[in-house]
Amino acid sequence: MTRYIQGSDRSQVTLLPECLDDFIAEDNTVRVIDAFISELDMATLGFEGTSPALTGRPSYHPSVLLKIYLYGYLNRVQSSRRLERECQRNVEVMWLTGRLAPDFKTIADFRKDNGKGIRNVCRRFVMLCR
């Protein structure tokens, strides 16, 4: 097998870890999604959970879940279970969310509870794309 291109050893430790940003090209669509959502006022658009609760387990910020949802919309991944898998294995989604991987129930509940806000964001995104 010496005449084939070899991959690196999976158990090899590197001195300088690779930056996740190095894997995402400058013209990748996830950069557009990130810039677009970072400019939105989530509370004005009608999203729940924009101010964190004082007690209980910390929740995901709605912008993180919206980034996952919008990525799925653009890449034809509708299922919350498939979006959960993409968060765990897709480098683009890891970059987009900062390596957060919410479970499928959290993604599904976000979609169910924030229909009005998601519609408003999709309307703005389509206008931006035009």
- pLDDT tens digits for 16-50? 667 888 889 999 999 999 999 999 999 888 888 88
- Looking at residue 77, its pLDDT comes to 95
Output b/e per residue, 62-84; b: 16+ Cβ within 10 A: bebbbbbbbbbeebebeebeebb
H-type alpha helices, the chain: 29-38, 42-45, 62-74, 80-89, 91-97, 104-113, 115-129
Q: What percent of the chain has pLDDT over 90?
A: 58
The answer on pLDDT for 87 being more than 90 is yes
Residues 25, 122, 62, 78: what is their CA dihedral angle, to the nearest 10 degrees?
A: -80
Q: Name the residue type at position 99.
A: R
Output b/e per residue, 10-30; b: 16+ Cβ within 10 A: eeeeeeeeeeeeeebeeeeeb
Q: Model-level pTM greater than 0.75? A: yes
Distance (Å, whole) CA 104 – CA 92: 18
pLDDT tier for residue 3 given thresholds of 50, 70 and 90: confident
